[in-house]
Structure 1
Amino acid sequence: MSSEAPGTVRPGGRTARVREAVLRAAGDALAEHGFDRLDLADVARRAGVGKTTVYRRWGTVPGLVADLLADMAEQSLPRTETGTLIGDLRANARLVRRTLTDPRQGRLFKAIIAAATCDARTAEALHRFYAARIREWAPCVEQAVARGELPEGTDPHEVIRAVSAPLYYRLLASGDPLDEAAADRAAEAAATAAKAGVFVR
């Protein structure tokens, strides 16, 4: 087995095609059946590759899920720049909302989050995924500080977390509608709090 951790190698050619097929199959299986029923042999069958290929490259279900999350972070849409804080935060909230309400992606995130509560390696991979997304969007807060829209010392990461947290609450806890109006309210609440200095370090 390779000494590289799953998700750290970015191969090309046939190896890249195999990785893409396996990760797509793993995402489909997770969305359909959840983490507990994710099986490497089933993923290999779905992807049309040999079981030994999957076991050799990923080794375990958590290893495969970690690589899936790394790939999802890479494939996420880039940050939108509108020129205003509220415009940027609204774009972020609407992107999160579209992802969570997508029939496949929403089920996939629910399965991974559930798995992360009882599997340390999956939890670590999930933390890396969200850290990458927060880093991607943090510059919109930094730019707002530079424009004078926000007070000096505002923590960019905390502002971005404040945008998505209410949306995940609706997805995972309350079951309230996760519509565009909810996304816009989350962005507006985060922007208002940030302007009031709530997120100043």
Structure 2
Amino acid sequence: MTTDPRTPRRAPAGAAVLREDVTEAIRAAVFEELASVGFARMSIEGIARRAGVGKTAVYRRWKSKLSLVLDLVSAFAAQGLPAPATGSLYGDVRALLEVASHALRHPVASQVIPDLLVESVRNPEIADAIKAALLDSQQGVAAHIVRDAIARGELPASTDPYRLLDVAVGPLYWHLVVVRADLPKGYLDDLTRGAVAALRA
């Protein structure tokens, strides 16, 4: 019996296309699992159970929980933060703080970020991924804000762009993630004014 060459060949067993909806369910489950039990206690079994899939579905996509978390953090870093362009230094800093405060107040992020920062002390791969996701992306936004402010004559040319993170995002992170307190009314406005004054000093 001969095979008609015009007949499409069937994909070999095991070569099934990975369903995107399953992949997204697993990614969502990872964030939930991290927030619930932390990286150290997180397991592929727990992720699969939370996603409503078998362990095999997870292992087809990632070889370990570390590679899974690194992939998610790297994807987050690739998205980056939008660089504000309000036309003024005050407006740009205020917009940056608004976006950052929403991100840090997210219930999952408020659990996941501190846990991964602790793990990064013991794991250089996680440290590199966290640096790219949290530090490098924010440094790029800070540099953009300061560069625009210098071009408008609002800041001296010698202004260190990364100082913006120290005087603006640093206090916000401390308040929301470390102290875990609600922001008082007008806090972001006060913090913006203080950060702008510090940059100009």
Interval containing the TM-score (normalised by the shorter chain): 0.7 to 0.9
Matches for 1:181-196 after TM superposition, within 5 Å: 181-196=186-201
CA distance in 2, matches of 1:180, 1:100: 17
Matches for 1:23-172 after TM superposition, within 5 Å: 23-75=27-79, 78-130=82-134, 131-172=136-177
The answer (yes or no) to whether the contact 2:139–2:162 under 8 Å persists in 1 is: yes
CA distance in 2, matches of 1:119, 1:58: 18
Sequence identity (%): 34
Pair member with larger Rg: 2
* TM-score, structure 2 normalization: 0.78
Contiguous gaps of at least 5 residues in structure 1:
1-12, 197-201
Shift of 1:33: 1.6
Q: Secondary structure at the match of 1:156?
A: coil
Count residues in correspondence. 184
CA distance in 2, matches of 1:36, 1:60: 13
RMSD between aligned residues: 2.4
The CA deviation string for residues 106-163 of structure 1, in whole angstroms up to 9 with x for no partner, is 2222322232233322221111102123313431211101000010032223323432
Shift of 1:184: 2.9
Shift of 1:185: 2.9
Superposed structure 1 runs of 4+ greater than 6 Å apart: none
* TM-score, structure 1 normalization: 0.78
The CA deviation string for residues 14-33 of structure 1, in whole angstroms up to 9 with x for no partner, is 45444322211100111112
- The one-letter amino acid paired with 1:37 is R
The answer (yes or no) to whether the contact 1:162–1:190 under 8 Å persists in 2 is: yes
Q: Is the alpha carbon distance of 1:123 and 1:182 closer, same or farther for their aligned partners in structure 2, counting shifts above 3 Å? A: farther
